[in-house]
Structure 1
Amino acid sequence: MGIRTLVGMLVAALAFIGVLATQEAYRLFLPGLLQGAVLTIEIALLGSLLAVVMGVLAALARMYGPAPLRWLATVYVEIFRGTSALVQLFWLFFVLPQFGVTLDAFPVAVLALGLNVGAYGSEVVRGAIQSVARGQWEAATALNMSRAQMLRRIILPQAFVAMIPPWGNLFIELLKSTALVSLITLSDLAFKAQQMNQNTFKTIPIFTLVLLMYLAMSLVLTIGMRLLERRASLGLARGRAA
C-alpha cells in the first residue's frame, strides 16, 4: 500500500472523528478519550525508544559480545519472547514490590512493553545484519577496518534499511499493546473507554471513537516508517553511487 493511500486513510479517519464530534452522542466522550490517547502516545513513544535500544544492544551482544554478555542477552530475549506481555506487566508492577523494588505504573508500562518488543526487535536487528552481503564484510576487512568500524560505517547503514519495515510492525504491536496498561490503573485510551462505558453504557459511540483513534495513531506511525524507509533507501543508493 502506497504512502498516498495511507495518507488518504488517515485523512478519512480524522475527518470521520471530526464529523462524529459534531454529534452530541459522541461529543460528550471525545475530550476524555483524547486525554487517554495522549497517555497512550507517551507510553508508545518511550516504549519504542527503549525497544530499539534494547533490541540493538541484545543483537550485538549475542553476535559479537563475550560469553557472559551473550548469555545475558540470550536469557533476556528468550524470557521476554517466551512469556506474555501481560504477565511481564503484572510481574513488574505486583511482584517486584515483594523484593523491595516499587515502581510507579507509568515506568512499569514503558519498561514492560519496551523490553517485550525489544526482545523481538533483537531478532530483527540480527537478521538484518546477517542479510548484508558477505562481500561487504570482505571489502571492509580488506580495508583493514576493525569490527566496530565495519559495523558503524559499512554494515549497519545497509542493515538499517532492512530493519525499518519489521520495526514498523513491532511499533504498531507495541501501540496496540498499550491497552494492557489499563490493568495497572493507568488512564490510557483503553482505560478511559472502559470507564466511560461502565458509567454510561454507551458502547457504540465510545468504542467507535476508540477504534478510529487507534487507527489514526497506527496510520501516522506507518506513514512515518514508510517515509523513513524511503529516505534511508535513497541515502544508501547515493552512497553506493558515490
Structure 2
Amino acid sequence: MLLLLTSAVLAFIIAVMAGLGRLAKSRWIRWTIRVYVEFFRGTSLVVQLFWVYYALPMLAQALPFLPPLNLSSFWAGVIAISLNYGAYASETVRSCILAVDRGQHEAAIALNMTRFQRMRLIILPQAVRMMLPDFGNNFIQMLKSTSLVSLIGLTDITYAGMVFRNNHIDLGILTFAMMLIFYFLLALPFIWMTRRAEQSVSRGVASR
C-alpha cells in the first residue's frame, strides 16, 4: 500500500506538471514533455521497471561523470510506476484544461488577471472537477500494476503468493484465486470513491 500511495502522489505531481507543460508557450518545453509522454506511453511498464532497477545503475557505473546509483526495489518501483502513469494522466490534465469554456478565459482576461492567476483561480478549479473520474480510474489501474514489482524482488501480494504456490504446488489454483480476491478487495474502496467522484462532478452540471 505504501508503494501505491507514494507512486500515486508522485504520478499526480508529474501529471500536473507535464499537462501544464504541454500547454506552455515555449515550443522547446512542449516538445520535451511530448517526447516524455509518448515514450512512457509507448513502452512496456515491465521493461521500464527493469530499466530503472537494473539498467540505470549499470549505466551510472559505466559513465564516469554520473554518480553511483543504487536504487532499492521499492524506489525503483515507485519511479517506474509514477513516471508511467504520470505520462498517461498528463493527457487527462491537458484535455480537461482545454475543455474549460473559452468564455472563462476571456472573462478572466477582462478582469486583468495574469496568466498564472487565470490558471490558478479560474481554469484549474473547473478542470480538476473533470479530472477526478479519470484520476480515480488511473489509481485503480496503478493498484493492479503494483503486482509487477514482484518481478524485481519486492515483496507484495503477488510475490508472497508465488512463494506460497512454489512451496505448495498442489494449491496453485487456490493461491491464484486468493490473489485475485485480495486485489479485488483492495480495489473496492477506490472503485466506490471513483463512482462518488463521477456523481459529484456531474451534480449541478447541465447536460447538453
Same fold (TM over 0.5): yes
Specify which of 68, 71, 85 is matched with residue 28 of structure 2: 68
How big is the shift at 1:95?
Answer: 0.4
Does 1:159 pair with 2:127?
A: yes
Structure 1 distance, partners of 2:196, 2:25, is: 33
Does 1:193 pair with 2:161?
A: yes
How big is the shift at 1:203?
Answer: 1.8
What is the match of residue 46 of structure 1?
6
Kept in 1: contact 2:130–2:201 (CA 8 A): no
**Matched residues, number:** 196
What is the match of residue 66 of structure 2?
none
Q: Which runs of 5 or more structure 2 residues have no equivalent in the other structure?
A: 61-68
Structure 2 distance, partners of 1:232, 1:46, is: 26
Determine helix, strand or coil for the equivalent of 2:155: coil
Kept in 1: contact 2:4–2:146 (CA 8 A): yes
Residues 111-143 of structure 1, C-alpha deviations (whole Å, 9 max, x = no match): 101100000000000010111111111111111
Specify which of 75, 96, 103 is matched with residue 71 of structure 2: 103
How big is the shift at 1:74?
Answer: 1.4
Specify which of 80, 102, 120 is matched with residue 40 of structure 2: 80
- More helix by percentage: 1
Determine helix, strand or coil for the equivalent of 1:64: coil
Amino acid corresponding to residue 106 of structure 1 in structure 2: F
Does 1:178 pair with 2:146?
A: yes
Does 1:217 pair with 2:206?
A: no
Determine helix, strand or coil for the equivalent of 2:23: helix
Structure 2 distance, partners of 1:212, 1:65, is: 48
Amino acid corresponding to residue 128 of structure 2 in structure 1: F
Q: TM-score under structure 1 normalisation?
A: 0.76
What is the match of residue 172 of structure 2?
203
Question: Could you say what the CA RMSD is over the residues aligned between the two structures, in angstroms?
Answer: 1.7
How big is the shift at 1:96?
Answer: 0.6
Kept in 1: contact 2:40–2:84 (CA 8 A): yes
What is the match of residue 141 of structure 1?
109
Q: Which runs of 5 or more structure 1 residues have no equivalent in the other structure?
A: 1-40
Amino acid corresponding to residue 61 of structure 1 in structure 2: G
Structure 1 distance, partners of 2:158, 2:182, is: 11
Kept in 1: contact 2:137–2:194 (CA 8 A): no
What is the match of residue 92 of structure 2?
124
Structure 2 distance, partners of 1:121, 1:173, is: 11
Instruction: Considering Cα pairs closer than 8 Å and 6+ residues apart, tell me whether 1 or 2 has the greater RCO.
Output: 1
What is the match of residue 28 of structure 1?
none
Structure 1 residues 233 and 153: alpha-carbon distance in aligned structure 2, compared to 1, 3 A threshold: farther
Runs of 4+ in 1 over 6 A off after TM superposition: none
How big is the shift at 1:232?
Answer: 6.0
Q: Percent identity?
A: 43
Amino acid corresponding to residue 173 of structure 2 in structure 1: I
Structure 2 distance, partners of 1:140, 1:216, is: 45
Structure 2 distance, partners of 1:98, 1:221, is: 38
How big is the shift at 1:169?
Answer: 1.4
Q: TM-score under structure 2 normalisation?
A: 0.88
